[in-house]
Structure 1
Amino acid sequence: MIERFHLQLLTAVDEYGTLTLAAEKLFLSQSALSHSIKKLEQQLGTPVWEKDGRKLRLTQAGRQILILAKRLLPQFEHTELLLTQIAKGQRGSLRIGMECHPCYQWLLKVVSPFLDTWPGVEVDVKQEFQFGGMRALYDYDIDVLVTPDPLFKSGVTFEPVFDFEQRLVVSHNHPLAKLEQIEPHDLQNETLITYPVEPQRLDIFSQFLAPAGCTVKRHRHIEATEIMLQMVSAGRGVAALPGWLVDTYAESLQLVSLQLGDEGIMKHIYLGMRNNDVNIDYIADFVRLAKQTVNQADKA
């Protein structure tokens, strides 16, 4: 019935539109591809594609197979990569996706001992501001997701690592620095500097400003944490960042962090993994080191 080759073929036809280009992509002859698909169509009792001028268009049956292909092919590739690495004496690879943009410096403290402990594991970090973390996990683009906003869905496990408070950051001579805590209306005339993320995904908007029917005078995007804090220090705006991150720069940049509202905004950092990967030894050890790094920082 349906084999991996069929999945690859329909994926290539969907991407390139013609049998000629699909054959070139797969390094096979058109006749071999045509024969293989005709045999599959006979087995299924329905066509998987039809001609649309010079191009091929997938039928309803073909589109269903394509959905299967997009789910299974990345898993094949991921497993083959791991097996190849094991055969070469390596242990595998750990691809980390970052949805917590300020967490990069914390991650460095985890990666350093991990690399010492697991010399045969390659590590890669994807820090993308429009990063679709759950989709990347399901599609095997990453192996671990660092996020403050987990989506608890089937097939994925989230391990809590540490808690933090989201706080407003201002320059030491900013008028707001004299307040004990910040209320939503206090920010109506302020320039708010954030990472380039949609407002609905930012806690300062979703949990603080929007429920009170308030907004800011101006919203600016800056990607680099250090530049963002320099701008705040220079009085060019305010920002909402984890308290532990602000504490790192507070003295050198003369920054003040303030509680947001009566109860503050409390957050958690989680590590997300596919259920099938939780017991892989080096992934489990990465989680252990992540928690251990936090505990050591707390004791210090």
Structure 2
Amino acid sequence: MLDRSHLMVVREVERQGSLTAAADTLNLTQSALSHAVKKLEQQLGTPVWTREGRSMRLTQAGQYLLSLANRMLPQFERAEERMKQYAQGERGTLRIGMECAPCYQWLLKVVSPYLARWPDVDVDVKQRFQFGGIGALIGYEIDVLVTPDPLKKSELHFQPVFDYEQVLVVGDNHTLAAKAYVTPEQLAHEVLITYPVGTDRLDIYTQFLTPANIMPKRHKVIETTDIMLQMVASGRGVAALPRWLAEEYAQWMPLTPVKLGRKGIAKQIFLGTRKTDDDIDYLAAFVKAAREWKWADAKMRD
């Protein structure tokens, strides 16, 4: 019969690449792990690995077990963590995955008052799930997904938490700073600075440049918002960011936000959660806090 320990063995052997390394991780002797591997294959009646010298490669059956392990083990681990927290009188940890690089600045504004209201809840932000967050949410590796691109799934909720406008950010002395709006053609001679994201997930491309069959002179990738906007302020390029973020940085840097096209580009940020978590009070409170920040921010700008 297949059980959790078998899935752990499959996952660790694949992660470590050898029985010796996997045995160390699982706190087993190599002989004990070899015996467990042999017994598993005997029980299943099919090989799980093929041996290639000291390395091991998963068979088709092994690949299926690995897929199962990657789906199921995080759920076991999350359940154990939650039970431990309940036993200790704690509510738990809210794990937030980010699919929106500039939204990290927004998240900081939401998290600070939230932690003050919920002192028995910890918050963990996992940016390693960027651009693959749906799978992490379904697999119980995160509890909330911050994303501008919701995906309809029967087991998930996606709630819009705030609206924003995507704008072009240029230095105050840039020729485009005086424009009411920019056209795609005007970016053909510009250095476009973006986060390290595929162009098929960047609004500046999908909703502005690509439909006009225009490419920038050069596409430069920078990971951090601060460095990106310092480059823009010094005339080294232009960037596309939410208007609220551009206006915040413009308070202390020589930056100007300019509308993208005559009509602009309207966007929304969504929070994704699992329907099975609807009864978790501190999670619902976080979503509520995120929605409230939108109105507070709008009033602040007014």
The two structures share one fold, judged by TM-score above 0.5: yes
Shift of 1:285: 0.7
What whole-Å deviation, never above 9, does each CA across 1:122-154 have from its counterpart, x for those lacking one? 112233595522233234332211111222234
Shift of 1:36: 5.0
Higher alpha-carbon deviation: 81-90 or 44-53: 44-53
Q: Secondary structure at the match of 1:109?
A: helix
Q: Measure the CA separation in 2 of the matches of 1:255 and 1:289.
A: 30
Matched with 1:143 is 143
Q: Would the aligned equivalents of 1:129 and 1:196 in 2 still touch at CA under 8 Å?
A: no
Q: Secondary structure at the match of 2:102?
A: helix
Shift of 1:38: 5.4
Matched with 1:239 is 239
Count of residue pairs brought into register by the alignment: 300
Q: Measure the CA separation in 2 of the matches of 1:151 and 1:84.
A: 32
Higher alpha-carbon deviation: 13-22 or 239-248: 13-22
Instruction: Give the alignment's TM-score, normalised by structure 2.
Output: 0.88
What whole-Å deviation, never above 9, does each CA across 1:28-69 have from its counterpart, x for those lacking one? 355655555555555544343454444544433333222211
Higher alpha-carbon deviation: 208-217 or 172-181: 172-181
Classify 1:173/1:120 alpha carbon distance in 2 versus 1 (closer, same or farther; 3 Å): same
After TM superposition, where is structure 1 displaced by more than 6 Å over at least 4 residues in a row? none
RMSD: 2.5
Q: Would the aligned equivalents of 1:129 and 1:197 in 2 still touch at CA under 8 Å?
A: no
Matched with 2:125 is 125
Q: How does 1:256-295 map to 2 (within 5 A)?
A: 256-295=256-295
Q: Measure the CA separation in 2 of the matches of 1:26 and 1:177.
A: 59
Matched with 1:60 is 60
How high is the sequence identity, in percent, across the aligned residues?
Answer: 59
Q: Measure the CA separation in 2 of the matches of 1:240 and 1:171.
A: 12
Matched with 2:28 is 28
What whole-Å deviation, never above 9, does each CA across 1:1-23 have from its counterpart, x for those lacking one? 21111111222333345545444
Matched with 1:211 is 211
Q: Would the aligned equivalents of 2:97 and 2:129 in 1 still touch at CA under 8 Å?
A: no
Q: Measure the CA separation in 2 of the matches of 1:288 and 1:121.
A: 15
Instruction: Give the alignment's TM-score, normalised by structure 1.
Output: 0.88
Unaligned runs of 5+ in 1: none
Shift of 1:155: 3.0
Q: How does 1:3-18 map to 2 (within 5 A)?
A: 3-18=3-18
